[in-house]
Amino acid sequence: MNTSLATLLVLIGATLLTAQPVVADDRDDRIRALEKRVEQLEKLLLTREAKPAAPGETPQPAPVPKAVPTLSVGSSGFIMRSADTNFALRIRGLIQFDSRWSDDENIDDSFVLRRARPIIEGTVFRDFDFRLTPEFGGSSVALRDAWLNYRYSPALQLRMGKMKPPGSLERWQSVANGLFIERSPVSLLWPVRDLGFMLHGELWPGDGAISKSLAGDGLLNYDIGVFNGTGDARAAGNSDFDGDKTAAARLFFHPFLKSEVKPLQKFGVGVSGTYGEMQGAAGLPDDFTYRAGTTADGLQWRVGPQAYWYWGPFGVLGEHAISSQRLERNVAPFASTRAENSAWMVTASWMLTGEDATFRAVTPRKNFDPRAREWGALQAVVRYSYLDLDDDLFPTFANPLELPTRAASWGVGLNWYLNRNLRAAFDFNHTDFKGGQSGNAGDFGENVFSTRVQLAF
């Protein structure tokens, strides 16, 4: 019952209680008067209910919060975004502090600042991404990445600038996520960085939780580009050295990504290749010592099948590479040849603490916290690799006392992930060489123990 109706009833009751005894005619008159009064009060009540409430009495909707720029700090770095999210800036970093200990008297035991990289990434106008990565580790300052990427969709993107070209599967993997401290000899047969344009994309993406642990998110991942071209294991400078260009491409499949067969969902297989002309000393491999007067002179091509498989805590990664190059020696004895160098490797890993193996960064189930008796994640790794240099290189183009003709290596390691950002690694590698030791063109062995403390965010 509302207030107006209650008032009406009170008035009626009061009128009845105050009425005096009267005769019948007078009583009828009073009843008619009361009925008229009730009718008037009902009209007044209806008028009040139909009248709109005063403006001050109308409830106002809660104001919608205005979007504002955001700043977040976490294990993925420092991230700033505009209110409409069309602009973003992300600051990350990588520090790797190593030590190396060898039984070879020709190798100095040492501590090494292997890498020190501030990484600046961002987005402008929603669809344009960029990355800038200077390198302060090693013996000199260098620019590793400097590229701009137009992202029409995940399936269709165009990258331009200095970047990783299609090539080694190990080099495709971030150096912060490699299973061993140093990559295998397979990576020595591919370029490190190059300048050019690359069309790339990920087609038919899978479930986020699965695909985010793989090299690419799609059932099919492709990269195809045109680059200045550079020698094996070289990072190109900021301009072309010979005017020729190199085409490079990679196709990588996850054929069971959308399958219900869970053990095969994280299986990937692909192939990479390059094709182009190379001229001059800058077209030679960076890590191989050739004789004076030897230069690249003509067609160079590379091809490399590659694959990986992850299932629960187990992972295996393998690849093979061939680098074929025409060489010329322009001092006596004058000569030319086509050299085909090859290498292959297989690496297996096991997460001892039960986390899922991944191509990307390992996230421990429990972060290192000795107060809570939590110790992070542990991973055991094992690798075998083989490098075979073309016999035609020796002795005209390379000295067998300086460059080995063969190198077979096996290694074991332990990776300790304290949390998503901090990692300690311990590796032991034994390598059997044929040649390459001063005064010894025969067989000899080498043992190296390495450690690494890494911060990556």
Q: Domain check: are 331 and 202 in the same one?
A: yes
The 10 Å CB-count burial string (b at 16+, else e) for 280-313 is eebbbbeebebbeebbbbeebebbbbbbbbbeeb
Share of the chain above pLDDT 70, in %: 86
DSSP state of 10: H
CB-based contact 379:349 (threshold 8 Å): yes
Average pLDDT over residues 227-234: 96
Average pLDDT over residues 389-418: 96
Q: What is the pTM of this model?
A: 0.84
Is the pLDDT at 21 greater than 60? The verdict is: no
The pairing of beta strand 294-311 with beta strand 406-417: unpaired
CA 440, 442, 447, 451 torsion-angle sign: positive
Looking at residue 227, its amino acid is F
Q: Domain check: are 34 and 107 in the same one?
A: no
Whether 143 is covered by a domain: the verdict is yes
Q: Domain check: are 41 and 152 in the same one?
A: no
Whether 59 is covered by a domain: the verdict is no
What is the reported pLDDT for 61?
72
Q: Domain check: are 316 and 178 in the same one?
A: yes
Q: Domain check: are 384 and 450 in the same one?
A: yes
Whether 134 is covered by a domain: the verdict is yes
Collect contacts of 79-88 with beta carbons under 8 A, ≥24 apart.
85/126, 86/123, 86/124, 86/125, 86/126, 87/122, 87/123, 87/124, 87/125, 88/122, 88/123
User: Distances from the Cα of 139 to the Cαs of 116, 136, 206, in angstroms?
Assistant: 11, 8, 42
9 or 69, higher pLDDT: 69
Q: Domain check: are 273 and 396 in the same one?
A: yes
Q: Determine what percent of the chain falls in helix, strand and coil, rounding each to the nearest 5.
A: 15, 50, 35
The pLDDT confidence band at residue 22, using thresholds 50, 70 and 90, is very low
Whether 56 is covered by a domain: the verdict is no
Render pLDDT for 319-335 as a digit per residue (tens, 0 to 9).
999 999 999 999 999 99
User: Distances from the Cα of 156 to the Cαs of 33, 151, 202, 329, 438, in angstroms?
Assistant: 87, 7, 8, 44, 52
Rounded to the nearest 5°, which phi and psi values hold at 312? 60, -130
What is the reported pLDDT for 243?
84
Instruction: Mention every residue, 6+ apart, whose C-beta is less than 8 A from residue 152.
Output: 127, 158
Whether 374 is covered by a domain: the verdict is yes
What is the reported pLDDT for 282?
87
Is the pLDDT at 337 greater than 90? The verdict is: yes
Q: Domain check: are 77 and 46 in the same one?
A: no
Render pLDDT for 261-285 as a digit per residue (tens, 0 to 9).
999 999 999 999 999 999 998 899 9
Q: Domain check: are 75 and 37 in the same one?
A: no
Average pLDDT over residues 431-439: 84
d(CA 409, CA 427): 13
Q: How many domains does the chain have?
A: 2
Whether 173 is covered by a domain: the verdict is yes
d(CA 326, CA 393): 11
H helix count then E strand count, the chain: 4, 18
The pLDDT confidence band at residue 51, using thresholds 50, 70 and 90, is low
CB-based contact 183:169 (threshold 8 Å): no
Half-sphere exposure of 338 (CA within 13 A, CB side): 8
- End-to-end CA, the chain: 66
Whether 58 is covered by a domain: the verdict is no
CA 189, 194, 197, 200 torsion-angle sign: positive
Per the structure, the complete domain to which residue 285 belongs is given by: 70-456
